[in-house]
Amino acid sequence: MRHMVFPRVIATDLDGTLLGAEGLVSDRNRQALAAAAEAGVKVVVSTARPPRTTWHIASQFTCAAVLCGNGALAHTSDTDPLVRALSAETAGTVVEKLRGALPDLGFGVETGTDFFHDPDYVLEPWAPRDWVSEVLDSTDALLARATPVAKLLVRSHGTPVHLLHEAAVETVGALVEVTYSGGHSLLELSASGVDKGSTLAMLCEQWGVPAEEVAAFGDMPNDLPALTWAGMGYAMASGHPDLLDPALGLLVAPGSNEDGVARVVERLLAGR
C-alpha cells in the first residue's frame, strides 16, 4: 500500500459499503461525505447498480461523479454521460460460448436506462417487476432489442456464484470482464477493460488527480479493481473474505453496519 495522504477523491461503493443493512445511508455516513465535499474532496459513487436505482442515494450528498454498472456508465455534472458498452457482436459470442459451457443459464441486459431479460432469467423475489422494461422470447431477441449493452447479466439456476465465476472466466474471460457483487448465482459482464478501477482512473486523470490521492471503499469482488488502483483502498470488514486477504495489501474499514466509511473519512479529515 502506498503512503497515505489526504485524499482529493473519495470513491465509495453503495450496497454492503456505504449502505447499512436496511439499504439506507446513515446520518453519520451522509455527514462525513458532506464534510469531505465541503473540504474540497471530490466524492464519487461507484456501484454495480444502474442509474435509476442510484440517483436517490447519490442525491443525499454532493457527488462529483456517479459511476454505475461497474464503470460502464459515468455521469458528471459538466460532461455528457460516458457509456463504455459491450459490442453486440461480442455479447453474442459470449452468450454462445457460455451456453455451450454451462447449463441452465438466463441472460439479462442493462442499457443504462432500461433492463431487459430472456425467458430463462429468473428475477430475485424481492426485485420489483417494474424494473423490467421487457421480457424477450429468446436470448437472440434480447440482444437484438437491448442496446447498448452496458452490462450483460448471467443468471444460473443452481451453480454457486464462485463456481459460476470460475467457469465463466475460463470460458469468456479473454473477451469480457467477469465479476459479481452478490451471492445470488448472478454474474456481471462488461466490455474488456471496463471495471470500477479503469473508469475511476479515467475520471481522475481528467481531474488531474493521481491514484495516490484517491481513497476507495468496497466490499465485493467487483470493487477490487478500484481498491487496488487507489492509493488508499479500503475493504469493508463485513465484506467478501477474498478482499481481506493480507496478500492484497488493502486497508480495512469497519463494517457497513458500523458506519465504516464515515469512521475512516472522519479520521482522514481530522488528520489533515
241-253: pLDDT as tens digits: 999 999 999 999 9
Q: What pLDDT, on a 0 to 100 scale, did the predictor assign at position 1?
A: 42
Q: Is the pLDDT of residue 179 over 70?
A: yes
Single residue among 191, 223, 250 that ends a domain in this structure: 191
Single residue among 160, 191, 222 that ends a domain in this structure: 191
Residues 169, 254 within the same domain: no
Single residue among 162, 191, 220 that ends a domain in this structure: 191
254 is a domain residue: yes
Q: What pLDDT, on a 0 to 100 scale, did the predictor assign at position 15?
A: 97
Q: Is the pLDDT of residue 52 over 70?
A: yes
Residues 73, 202 within the same domain: yes
1 is a domain residue: no
Question: Using one digit for the tens of pLDDT, what is the confidence trace for 132-159?
Answer: 999 999 999 999 999 999 999 999 988 9
Residues 176, 198 within the same domain: no
CATH number at residue 98: 3.30.1240.10
Residues 211, 186 within the same domain: no
Cα–Cα distance between 165 and 167 in angstroms, integer? 5
Torsion angle, CA of 108/109/115/118, rounded to 10 degrees?
-40
261 is a domain residue: yes
pLDDT classification of 2: cutoffs 50, 70, 90: very low
Secondary structure class of 42 (helix, strand, coil): strand
Q: What pLDDT, on a 0 to 100 scale, did the predictor assign at position 79?
A: 79
Question: Using one digit for the tens of pLDDT, what is the confidence trace for 90-132?
Answer: 999 999 999 999 999 999 999 999 999 999 999 887 788 888 9
Residues 92, 75 within the same domain: no
Q: Is the pLDDT of residue 3 over 60?
A: no
Provide the number of structural domains found in the chain: 2
Q: Is the pLDDT of residue 189 over 70?
A: yes
97 is a domain residue: yes
3 is a domain residue: no
4 is a domain residue: no
Residues 17, 72 within the same domain: yes
Residues 103, 172 within the same domain: yes
14 is a domain residue: yes
Q: Is the pLDDT of residue 170 over 50?
A: yes
Per the prediction, the chain carries an average pLDDT of: 95
Domain that holds residue 158: 88-191
Range list of H helices, the chain? 27-38, 55-58, 88-101, 139-145, 161-172, 196-207, 224-229, 260-270
Q: What pLDDT, on a 0 to 100 scale, did the predictor assign at position 4?
A: 66
Distances (CA, A) of 177 to 14, 82, 109, 190, 192: 20, 18, 15, 5, 5
Residues 172, 213 within the same domain: no
Cα–Cα distance between 124 and 26 in angstroms, integer? 26
234 is a domain residue: yes
Q: Please indicate whether residue 142 or residue 184 has the higher confidence score (pLDDT).
A: 142
